[in-house]
Amino acid sequence: DAKTTQPPSMDCAEGRAANLPCNHSTISGNEYVYWYRQIHSQGPQYIIHGLKNNETNEMASLIITEDRKSSTLILPHATLRDTAVYYCIVRVEVLGATNKLIFGTGTLLAVQP
Amino acid sequence: GAVVSQHPSRVICKSGTSVKIECRSLDFQATTMFWYRQFPKQSLMLMATSNEGSKATYEQGVEKDKFLINHASLTLSTLTVTSAHPEDSSFYICSARGDRVEFSGNTIYFGEGSWLTVV
């Protein structure tokens, strides 16, 4: 699986948008970009994923560059409960294959009051 | 989203004993489940992949005889830590991949995690 690079930590003011970057310059054509977050002492929570188009759901938006070498997760109105480690993962999706998730070090997002 | 449940959430055992952690997919069938371990302030490390009805596939460096994985049904996988030592104390997390008709619905969902303390 391709590796990702994320900043180790970021701060964001409560109520403002949080923009979390991720570099995945060696991503291949059949790899999706997945975002998970882990609040302290809990299992990771699925946020969003995409292949090449921008995606939006009730939690966040995912912006993927045209060359697919980087992406940004946007939390439109961060709250204190969004404080967590955010993981950007690229994952092969091949029908019938294992398609496992390999975690990097992630970004610790601290939402400040 | 889909629900994955782990039990127990916390367990303390004595050195040399074995402890079993269960992982259940509550509202979907999961032919594939994954087990991770996480030490404090570190990222999740994939230990093994279990497929229903077959032997688990272990990641490099993970002892298969120490971490026994059984995936006997489409909704249950178990991890047994055998002959536990204090260095096995960790946060163990399972995840399950939903089997959906849509290919893009191949999302993996995680359990709440299980804290193991070996004394």
Q: pLDDT, tens digit, for every residue of A19-75?
A: 999 999 999 888 899 999 999 889 999 999 999 999 999 999 999 999 999 999 999
Residue-level pLDDT at A96:
63
What whole-number distance in Å separates Cα of residue B116 and Cα of residue B84? 10
What whole-number distance in Å separates Cα of residue A83 and Cα of residue A78? 9
Are A17 and A79 in contact by the 8 Å Cβ rule? The answer is: no
Read off the tokens for A96: 């019938």
In single-letter form, the type of residue at position B83 comes to: S
**A73-87, B18-32, B90-104, range with greatest mean pLDDT:** A73-87
For the CA atoms of A56, B26, B92, B89, the dihedral, rounded to the nearest 10 degrees, stands at 150
Residues 6+ apart with CB under 8 A from A29: none
CA nearest B91 in A: which residue? A41
pLDDT at B73 over 50: yes
3-state secondary structure of B55: coil
Chain A residues closer than 8 Å to B49 by CB: 98, 100
Question: How many Å lie between the alpha carbon of B64 and the closest alpha carbon of chain A?
Answer: 18
What whole-number distance in Å separates Cα of residue B9 and Cα of residue A26? 37
Mean pLDDT of A77-100: 87
Question: How many Å lie between the alpha carbon of B98 and the closest alpha carbon of chain A?
Answer: 12
Chain B residues closer than 8 Å to A38 by CB: 44
Gyration radius of chain B over CA positions: 14
Residue-level pLDDT at B39:
95
CB pair distance less than 8 Å for B107 and A98: no
CA nearest B46 in A: which residue? A102
